[in-house]
């Protein structure tokens, strides 16, 4: 698609015919000329997103991406993870490993030493009691905490002294390190007395240890944070940080072009404007991989999908790369597993097998699915006819669905698109495995650790076992064994091999067909330094204390 057909036929040509054509011809170029970058205020950074955080307590529900901003501005965790996948200590003095004695040789006892120079922004000192209280809140059944991932493996939690804690795990679990990266510490002295943390007034006026403090908020418009002078990593490099909400992506895009905002975050530049965005003067464009990978989920409990050969055939027939090229304008990364290709555990030996409709037809014929008179394949009275669901209103996903529908029609498979509002499709329809297929984008379940137990272990099927997120009802004893092995291994190289094997089996049996890893295009002003896209976290502002003006 040449640039001419889109930019050459400008609005001027099209609108000339319209009544206002004359007016626009005169002012059109003037209005759409090079954007005027507003006078730069170096004491503050304005970051814009399309959604507004409603949750300021870092333990309660989070809308990934959005609520991570108040979390990273006002709170700290025991340790963070940087853009290269390395854990860096934050409130802890060091990240526990077997080498430094933080983890016992059998992997069961974790000892953490805490910094002594940290203060809450109300002046109180941060101590091990706060860590203990955070843990107790997380496992408290009465608190609607956003995630227990990893914490339910703690058998025993001991406060040794004011600045060290010891945790004994019920079983050796390497991904445990992610648990404490994900959950931030809340103040015991402010929340201990609350009868119900879910509705405490603290949730509107949070106090943390973080690099910024919440100064003011205008609901629906923006939040203003001011630097915490006593931050234990040194005061943040900029005095004021403003989080602005602009619900319309296009409007947000206009605003960064005119200089009204400094950093465009969630949900990034619309995919069809990337080419233009990379060339904008005065702005840096960065490709930020988000942790999400998009799949087609096949419900293995349904008769059509019980046979892995059928699933594989359907997967092979789909034009996966084309969908990424067309619908996402080549911005997403093609992946053949549940991880982004840039993840350390990604298996680069996996082979791309799509699209291959001829092979798909052969596989379906061999599996006994013959073409019926109506053009739809059938076997033993069951037709290869099913629905695919996703969130209604998501245009990109609908484009993908339309493409897959066409692909499958050609090989005698009838897919019907049945989209529903988010609250319906992700409710019991998904969790009780009622769907036929889904088009869904998810992250791994324990931070960015490659452990995928919750989603494909045979004992993690909610409708059977009441636990887990294995909504596709996939069962494979070899995968189970490998998953259980992977979380006990402590050396990255060992784990890499284990997970490589898992990824290969998943690609052979295709309980979920991987399409692509989502990559966002973010824009920031050239003068803004310190911003580092990090594929291992969902927070744009994970290192906001480092952001500054050149």
Between residue 26 and residue 45, which ones bind another protein under the rule CB under 8 A? 27-28, 30-32, 41
Report in angstroms how near the CB of residue 107 gets to another protein at its nearest.
21
Which residues ranging from 95 to 114 are in contact with another protein (CB under 8 A)?
A: none
Of the candidate spans 84-92, 105-113, 145-153, 229-237, the one that interacts with another protein by CB under 8 A turns out to be 145-153
Taking each helix axis as running N to C, give the angle between helix 477-486 and helix 492-509, from 0 to 180 degrees, rounded to the nearest 10: 160
Token output for 407: 């692909």
Q: How far apart are CA 30 and CA 9, in angstroms?
A: 17
DSSP conformation class of 114: B
Cβ proximity to another protein, 196 vs 380, nearer residue? 196
Is 141 one of the binding residues for another protein (CB under 8 A)? yes
| Minimum distance from residue 147 beta carbon to another protein (Å) | 4
Which one of 244, 312, 343, 377 is in contact with another protein (CB under 8 A)?
A: 244
Q: Which of 136, 156, 221, 492 binds another protein (CB under 8 A)?
A: 221
Determine contact, residues 360/300, Cβ cutoff 8 Å: no
Among 285, 344, 429, 549, binds another protein (CB under 8 A): 429
Q: Which is nearer to another protein, 26 or 349 (CB)?
A: 26
In three-state form (DSSP H/G/I as H, E/B as E, the rest C), the secondary structure along 274-310 is: HHHHHCCCCEEEEEEEEEEEEEEEECCCCHHHCCHHH
Report whether 80 contacts 225 (CB < 8 A).
no
Build a one-symbol-per-residue string for 374-413: x at contacts with another protein by CB under 8 A, - elsewhere.
Answer: ------------------xxxx--xx-xxx-xx-------
What phi, psi does 519 have (nearest 5°)? -125, 135
Tell me, residue by residue from 157 to 186, as one string, x for binding to another protein by CB under 8 A and - for no binding.
-------------------------x----
The CA distance from 454 to 465, in Å, is 12
Supply the minimum distance, in Å, between the C-beta of residue 129 and another protein.
23
Tokens of 79: 């340790």
CB of 2 vs another protein, minimal distance in Å:
11
The answer to whether residues 155 and 168 touch, using CB atoms and an 8 Å cutoff, is yes
**Among candidates 188, 189, 183, 151, which has minimal Cα distance to 170?**
151
Q: Which of residues 481-540 bind another protein (CB under 8 A)?
A: none
| CB-based contact 360:314 (threshold 8 Å) | yes
Is 442 a binding residue for another protein by CB under 8 A? The answer is yes
Query: What is the nearest approach in angstroms of another protein to the Cβ of residue 378?
Result: 24
**Residue 176 per-residue DSSP state:** H
The span from the CA of 298 to the CA of 321, in Å, is 19
Contacting another protein (CB under 8 A), which of 16, 37, 64, 496?
64
CB nearer another protein, residue 404 or residue 545: 404
Task: With contacts defined by CB under 8 A, name the span among 358-366, 463-471, 473-481, 521-529 that binds another protein.
Answer: 463-471
Tokens 């004994």 map to which residue? Answer: 168
Q: By CB under 8 A, how many residues form the interface with another protein?
A: 102
- Binding residues for another protein restricted to 111-140, rule: CB under 8 A: none
By C-alpha distance, which of 448, 360, 368, 365 is closest to 410? 360
Does 549 bind another protein (CB under 8 A)? Our answer is no
191 versus 364: smaller Cβ distance to another protein: 191
Stretch that binds another protein, among 95-103, 114-122, 216-224, 363-371 (CB under 8 A): 216-224
| CB of 64 or CB of 356, closer to another protein | 64
What is residue 483's three-state secondary structure?
helix
Going 435 to 436 to 442 to 446, the CA torsion angle's sign is: positive
Task: Please give the C-alpha separations between residue 318 and each of 33, 64, 385, 441, 482, in angstroms, as whole numbers.
Answer: 42, 29, 16, 17, 29
Does residue 419 touch another protein according to CB under 8 A?
yes
State in angstroms the smallest separation of the CB of 209 from another protein. Answer: 21
Stretch that binds another protein, among 21-29, 122-130, 226-234, 299-307 (CB under 8 A): 21-29
Q: Measure the CA angle with vertex 65, ends 541 and 216; round to 5°.
A: 65
Q: Which of residues 464-483 bind another protein (CB under 8 A)?
A: 466-469
The interface with another protein within residues 248-307 (CB under 8 A) comprises 248-251, 254, 260, 270, 272
Q: Please, which residues have CB within 8 angstroms of residue 395's CB and are 6 or more apart in sequence?
A: none
Complex with another protein: residue 100 or 258, whichever CB lies closer: 258
Determine contact, residues 300/432, Cβ cutoff 8 Å.
Answer: no
Q: Report how far residue 82's alpha carbon sits from residue 85's, in angstroms, rounded to the nearest whole number.
A: 6
**Which CB sits closer to another protein, 73 or 425?**
425
Nearer to another protein, 127 or 299 (CB): 299
């Amino acid at each position: 698609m040449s640039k001419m057909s889109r930019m050459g036929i400008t609005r001027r040509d099209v609108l000339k015919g319209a009544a206002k054509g004359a007016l626009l011809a005169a002012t059109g170029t003037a209005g759409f000329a090079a954007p005027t970058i507003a006078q730069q205020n170096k004491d503050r950074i304005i970051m814009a997103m399309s959604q507004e955080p409603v949750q300021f307590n870092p333990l309660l529900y989070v809308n990934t991406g959005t609520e991570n901003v108040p979390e990273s501005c006002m709170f700290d965790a025991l340790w963070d993870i940087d853009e290269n996948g390395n854990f860096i200590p934050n409130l802890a003095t060091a990240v526990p490993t077997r080498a430094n004695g933080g983890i016992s040789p059998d992997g069961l006892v974790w000892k953490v030493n805490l910094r002594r120079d940290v203060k809450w922004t109300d002046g109180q000192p941060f101590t091990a009691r706060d860590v203990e209280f955070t843990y107790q809140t997380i496992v408290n059944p009465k608190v609607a905490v956003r995630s227990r991932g990893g914490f339910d493996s703690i058998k025993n939690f001991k406060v040794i002294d004011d600045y060290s804690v010891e945790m004994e795990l019920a079983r050796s679990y390497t991904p445990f390190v992610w648990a404490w990266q994900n959950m931030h510490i809340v103040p015991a002295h402010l929340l201990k007395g609350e009868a119900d943390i879910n509705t405490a007034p603290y949730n509107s006026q949070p106090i943390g240890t973080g690099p910024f403090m919440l100064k003011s908020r205008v609901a629906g418009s923006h939040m203003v944070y001011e630097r915490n002078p006593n931050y234990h990593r040194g005061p943040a490099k900029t005095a004021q940080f403003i989080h602005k909400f602009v619900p319309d992506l296009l409007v947000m895009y206009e605003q960064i072009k005119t200089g009204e905002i400094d950093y465009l975050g969630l949900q990034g530049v619309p995919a069809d404007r990337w080419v233009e965005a990379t060339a904008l003067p005065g702005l840096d464009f960065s490709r930020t991989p988000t942790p999400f990978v998009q799949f087609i989920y096949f419900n293995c409990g349904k008769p059509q999908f019980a046979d892995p050969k059928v699933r594989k055939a359907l997967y092979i027939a789909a034009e996966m790369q084309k969908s990424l090229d067309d619908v996402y304008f080549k911005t997403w990364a093609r992946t053949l597993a549940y991880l982004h290709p840039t993840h350390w555990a990604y298996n680069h030996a996996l082979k791309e097998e799509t699209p291959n409709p001829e092979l798909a037809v052969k596989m379906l014929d061999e599996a006994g699915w013959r073409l019926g008179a109506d053009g739809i394949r059938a076997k033993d009275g069951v037709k290869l006819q099913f629905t695919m669901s996703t969130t209604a209103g998501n245009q990109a996903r609908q484009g993908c669905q339309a493409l897959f529908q066409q692909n499958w029609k050609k090989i005698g498979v009838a897919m019907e698109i049945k989209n529903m509002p988010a609250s319906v499709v992700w409710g019991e329809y998904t969790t009780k495995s009622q769907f036929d297929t889904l088009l869904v984008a998810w992250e791994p379940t324990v931070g960015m650790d490659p452990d995928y137990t919750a989603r494909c272990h045979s004992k993690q099927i909610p409708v059977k076992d009441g636990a887990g997120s294995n909504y596709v009802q996939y069962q494979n004893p070899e995968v189970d064994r490998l998953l259980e092995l992977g979380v006990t291994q402590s050396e990255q190289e060992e784990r890499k091999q284990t997970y490589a094997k898992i990824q290969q089996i998943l690609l052979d049996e295709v309980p979920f067909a991987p399409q692509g890893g989502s990559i966002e295009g973010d824009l920031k002003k050239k003068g803004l330094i310190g911003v580092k896209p990090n594929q291992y976290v969902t927070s744009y502002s994970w290192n906001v204390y480092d952001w500054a003006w050149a």
